[in-house]
Structure 1
């Protein structure tokens, strides 16, 4: 018996011993994780593990954001981590008490895709820093992304916004359809490295830092071989197009007309009595969409506080499958996490469908991105259409969004 207890106390990653059978666990504290792409570009992120009363939870860390993951199972040396959104999970093995090895798996509409994954406990750094920063990337940057494979393809434009302190950099890229959420990284010498992971976004950005330029940029996107070149020029007055002009109501059209099933299969129409003489906020969203996650978090909290003012919210879900039951399953966890109390309707049309606008909301000129938010006044007329969402990762832009949102809705509620 004495030898058995000595073995258990010295055992790797073992929380208990019972007749010689050991139970392993994930070590408490911050881990460094890597998704290993075929091209050798590792997408790095961190997560913080906590074991409490026999239950393991973790938070995925990206800059100031901490995403709770509470579906974590450890069986022997096997570890299963199900992400709360975007239908993805980790299946891994504890190779020691401080090391994991396995796969990150995304369940798409028609197939599963995966990428090798490793993690090491007790390593809070994201990227190793060898030398002091040779430059400061704080500020706004007009950024051009170009396909690394198709150089003739027109570039896409974004606005990079970064804040640097010493070697540490936080920030995001703003686009006409949303933002890249919380980017976390460093400037090491003249090299910028930024990454993020949230269960959908799995991104790595690198570039060379100049005085007013970022050059030789590479943008590695998730599973597969997604790769773009990028460069940026500092411009603190740079702006994106007005989000109210990207999609609009068609000339002569003022009111929407739609009917779709809710999560219980019951048909709901914008013409129903529930929505008459009320301000209605309609969000075009999907459980696969990180910016929709941020907007849903905002709208759900806002609705609980404001629903008694004569306002309603409707979510129109564009899932990656036309199958109702599969779409419902994808949405259930998403809506539960944010305690959504307003109706979410399943359109039965996918975001990739080029005719999604005509099939669902033909009164709109187009659906250019997700989320898209439509503000309906008490007479049933559309007052504004907003494409994209500036989430909490955008800092002051998120604060401005909230102020503008409340001002617009309050104005419609005050109108007779």
Structure 2
């Protein structure tokens, strides 16, 4: 990374909106401009700390929206500890001369990653250059297909004056909101919400395109194999630089479009019953014939708590569960956790607690076993994948990935599609028995 880029990252410490009132006697309460550093890459992010003494709360941000990220936090004897157990992330820092210094340990699917941590008190920056208007949806053609066969991504941008929140949307979901400001001809955008730290530098070009430079902050093997690619294999999602075109320009030039979330993964046999039989946390085997699922509309979600997009989806599934549970919807998570997590399921337990999950969680195995344990789906390679199952037990649709609120209109479209499909399936009458007609053919008896 160049010295100029490092300086840009250090000075583009996210949003310039006024700090909230965080009244407290604690010496660490308030807003901080924080930076993670790993492999020479600096990742600025906003961190709010609320509360006193041993009872603190750390608040991260996903774009322009706050995210109450910590499961426990404390400040004692000059030492700050912020635990984000649902991501297996811990921030340890010491307050010295009004600054916080320490490290962050984050456990991802492949390995544990350490970052240095530095934070200073937030100071409102003077009104800066507003920068060129880049809000909207852009298409990123790939020079070679990604590991999932994608030929294009989307870049979804929201803009408030001199501040931008941008998210790269792929078939398995988005990156979260990279947020930042315009400086020296570039938008320097970064993201950290307890998981998936990252930086992109977006440069408007004279031909109307955007150059998107991705700064790596983790080992290449972890970056690729997290998503099923072979280590070292070409994969457009991790190319160091991408080019984005306005949607109308991309279409006029005949570029490939992003994959359809509803056709990427399909049922191998749409006429077959979707079956599963996995243990719950107590070890009891639960199948599709359990009374909680039988005759109901079921959302079966292939998921894992190591997956950031699965965190995004769980929060929405909790809303759907509250709204439709009493109307005949049942949600079941087919959860795939790393082998080293399966002794304690520490992250999963924190995940369920953090998001107030009430629907069923079943332990389906490790991520590498997904294809063996869920053989009913073709081209299953996204985390998450949501299977819509009718009252007859058959697959009606499969939605690949999850577009979070960072994806703007695509998130709203997803919610509308999920709601419409669920309500259509709930109208169906459940099959309760069958009998023989005089001609000898089976006849379904419905309530």
TM-score range, shorter-chain basis? Answer: 0.7 to 0.9
Q: Which residue of 1 aligns with 2:47?
A: 47
CA distance in 1, matches of 2:114, 2:53: 32
The answer as to 2:216 corresponding to 1:213 is no
Q: Which residue of 2 aligns with 1:414?
A: 427
Give the length in aligned residue pairs: 379
Q: Which residue of 2 aligns with 1:276?
A: 294
Q: Is the 1:248–1:364 contact (alpha carbons within 8 Å) kept by the matching residues of 2?
A: yes
Flag structure 2 segments of 5+ consecutive residues without an equivalent.
1-23, 224-237, 252-256, 430-447
Q: Is the 1:246–1:368 contact (alpha carbons within 8 Å) kept by the matching residues of 2?
A: no
SS of corresponding position for 2:266: coil
Q: Which residue of 2 aligns with 1:158?
A: 153
Q: Which residue of 1 aligns with 2:235?
A: none
Q: Which residue of 2 aligns with 1:373?
A: 386
Deviation of the 1:155 alpha carbon: 8.7
Q: Which residue of 1 aligns with 2:275?
A: 257
- When normalised by structure 1's length, the TM-score is 0.84
Q: State the superposition RMSD in angstroms.
A: 2.7
SS of corresponding position for 2:406: helix
Q: Which residue of 1 aligns with 2:93?
A: 92
Q: Is the 2:178–2:200 contact (alpha carbons within 8 Å) kept by the matching residues of 1?
A: no
The answer as to 2:347 corresponding to 1:330 is yes
Q: Which residue of 2 aligns with 1:343?
A: 360
Deviation of the 1:267 alpha carbon: 1.0
CA distance in 2, matches of 1:376, 1:241: 22
Q: Residues 120-139 of structure 1 correspond to what in structure 2 (within 5 A)?
A: 120-123=120-123, 131-133=129-131, 135-139=132-136
Which of 349, 356, 364 is equivalent to 2:370? 356
Q: Is the 1:72–1:82 contact (alpha carbons within 8 Å) kept by the matching residues of 2?
A: yes
Q: Is the 1:281–1:313 contact (alpha carbons within 8 Å) kept by the matching residues of 2?
A: yes
CA distance in 2, matches of 1:62, 1:110: 24
The answer as to 2:230 corresponding to 1:235 is no
Deviation of the 1:229 alpha carbon: 1.8
After superposition, the Cα gap between the structure-2 partners of 1:292 and 1:330, relative to the gap in structure 1 and judged at 3 Å, is same
Q: Which residue of 2 aligns with 1:140?
A: 137
SS of corresponding position for 2:28: coil
CA distance in 1, matches of 2:117, 2:142: 27
Following superposition, which runs of at least 4 residues in structure 1 exceed 4 angstroms of deviation?
Answer: 108-111, 128-132, 144-147, 224-227, 236-239
The answer as to 2:300 corresponding to 1:293 is no
Q: Which residue of 2 aligns with 1:400?
A: 413
Q: Once the two structures are superposed, what CA deviation does each residue of 1:357-378 show, in whole Å capped at 9, x if it has no partner?
A: 1x11111113211110001101
Deviation of the 1:323 alpha carbon: 5.6
Q: Residues 31-42 of structure 1 correspond to what in structure 2 (within 5 A)?
A: 31-39=32-40, 41-42=41-42
Q: Is the 1:73–1:81 contact (alpha carbons within 8 Å) kept by the matching residues of 2?
A: yes
Q: Is the 1:62–1:182 contact (alpha carbons within 8 Å) kept by the matching residues of 2?
A: yes
Q: Which residue of 2 aligns with 1:7?
A: none
After superposition, the Cα gap between the structure-2 partners of 1:410 and 1:179, relative to the gap in structure 1 and judged at 3 Å, is same
Which of 166, 174, 177 is equivalent to 1:179? 174
Q: Once the two structures are superposed, what CA deviation does each residue of 1:3-54 show, in whole Å capped at 9, x if it has no partner?
A: xxxxxxxxxxxx99xxxxxxxx443221001011323x31110011122586
Q: Once the two structures are superposed, what CA deviation does each residue of 1:336-374 show, in whole Å capped at 9, x if it has no partner?
A: 111111110111122xx2x521x1111111321111000
Deviation of the 1:136 alpha carbon: 1.6
CA distance in 2, matches of 1:408, 1:142: 27
Deviation of the 1:318 alpha carbon: 1.1
The answer as to 2:245 corresponding to 1:244 is no
After superposition, the Cα gap between the structure-2 partners of 1:136 and 1:189, relative to the gap in structure 1 and judged at 3 Å, is farther
Q: Is the 2:266–2:398 contact (alpha carbons within 8 Å) kept by the matching residues of 1?
A: yes
CA distance in 1, matches of 2:78, 2:150: 46
Q: Is the 1:285–1:316 contact (alpha carbons within 8 Å) kept by the matching residues of 2?
A: yes
Which of 167, 191, 196 is equivalent to 1:201? 196
The answer as to 2:396 corresponding to 1:383 is yes
After superposition, the Cα gap between the structure-2 partners of 1:398 and 1:252, relative to the gap in structure 1 and judged at 3 Å, is closer
Q: Is the 2:270–2:396 contact (alpha carbons within 8 Å) kept by the matching residues of 1?
A: no
CA distance in 1, matches of 2:44, 2:341: 35
Flag structure 1 segments of 5+ consecutive residues without an equivalent.
1-14, 17-24, 148-153
